[in-house]
Amino acid sequence: MVEADTVIAVNDLKKSYGQVKAVNGISFSVKKSEIFGMLGPNGAGKSTTIEMLVGLRERESGEINVLGFDPQKKPEEIKRRIGVQLQTVNLFPKLTVKETLLLFSSFYKNSLDVDTVIEKFGLQEKKNTLICKLSGGQAQRVSVAISMIGNGDIIFLDEPTAGLDPQSRQQLWEVIIDLKRQGKTVFLTTHFMDEAQSLCDRVAIIDHGQIVAMGSPQELIDKYFNEKSLELVHPVLCNNPRLGELQGVTRVSCTDCNITIHSTDIVRTVGALFELTEALGIQLDDFKVRQANLEDVFLKLTGRRIR
């Protein structure tokens, strides 16, 4: 039984490609006006999940309900009420930006004003430019704009900020937050931890086709961490077993000389670290202390960082 405010309900969803289990029995639900993030590395199953949710790919087994319909049985009913931005999209190269958005807006009864969308995405100077003349980041912005032009109830965004410069990325974040204010639901996939933590009401962390944790970003951090993190860069200290023996330390990770030390007593850990570096004759120039974040949660649950 799907609750009244639930717009996406998924139960035991599976999809394989040969021997590879791309999606391996995931279950979750998304509520109206929620920004729901699926967080994981490339190849984790995020894009395959979106494609099944919007009716572009058939599932192997399991149940999907989107806005009251099964996308495999009633794809047209769903497509009228959603917007989709996929990682790979083939636009018409000889149309301008404005012509492209006018074309896609004509597919919907209650589409948004094209000039307003162009302004919202900072594409005013490029509105009369051919798609084939755009940079990768500009084409990405057009792709996301297309997903919103139909004024759908749910907007599916698959890695929407990939390839965007910091300013365009921040601009898109503001657009996504505004969609929530309008009562829209956003289903977002990303491998950017800060993006998920800043935007999402809830996230599902997916790895190797399975959801390994789900909740609000803060709930997940509180559940898996009561430590703080001490970060430094040092080639000599990296992988030194004595770091794990410092007072308060619960875990140490090192990638490319980037050391992260998790501690339940950061003051004592810092003091012990200085004693260690002095004993080793090492100069410690810089380090920072921070609260745990989703990157730490993912690393703890999967044993690897997202690259």
Per residue in 147-160, pLDDT (tens digit) is: 999 999 999 999 99
Mean pLDDT, residues 3-9: 90
Average pLDDT of the segment spanning 218-239: 90
Residue 202 token pair? 């809830």
**Residue among 8, 20, 27 at smallest CA distance from 188:** 8
Distance CA 300, CA 145 (A): 36
Q: In what order do the strands lie in the sheet with 20-31?
A: 20-31, 6-17, 61-66
Q: Does residue 54 surpass a pLDDT of 90?
A: yes
When pLDDT is cut at 50, 70 and 90, the band that residue 272 belongs to is very high
Given a cut of 60, is residue 132 above it in pLDDT? yes
- Cβ–Cβ under 8 Å, residues 263 and 254: no
3 state DSSP class of 184? coil
Residue 233 is predicted with a pLDDT of: 92
pLDDT exceeds 90 at position 305: no
Nearest to 192 by CA among 13, 34, 38: 38
The predicted model gives 249-270 an average pLDDT of 91
Lowest mean pLDDT among 59-63, 122-126, 209-213, 255-259: 255-259
* Mean pLDDT of the 156-179 span: 92
Q: How is the beta sheet containing 288-291 ordered, strand by strand?
A: 249-255, 258-263, 228-233, 288-291
pTM: 0.85
Q: How many helices (H) and strands (E) does the chain have?
A: 10, 13
Q: To the nearest whole percent, how much of the chain has pLDDT over 90?
A: 75
Residues 152, 83: Cα–Cα separation, whole Å: 6
What pLDDT does 32 receive? Answer: 96
Given this model, what pLDDT does residue 256 score? 85
Task: From residue 221, give the alpha-carbon distance in Å to each of 253, 293, 300.
Answer: 18, 6, 11
> Average of pLDDT values for 267-274?
94
Question: What average pLDDT does this structure show over 26-30?
Answer: 98
Confidence of residue 1 (pLDDT cuts 50, 70, 90): low
At 232, list the tokens.
């430094």
End-to-end, the C-alpha distance of the chain in Å comes to 38
More confident residue, 45 or 191: 45
Determine which of 128-142, 152-166, 203-217, 282-296 has the lowest per-residue pLDDT on average: 282-296
The pLDDT of residue 87 is above 90:
no
Is the pLDDT assigned to residue 134 strictly greater than 70? yes
Phi, psi at 272, each rounded to 5°: -65, -35
Residue 188 predicted with pLDDT over 60? yes
* Mean pLDDT, residues 91-116 taken together: 96
Residue 88 banded pLDDT, cuts 50, 70, 90:
confident
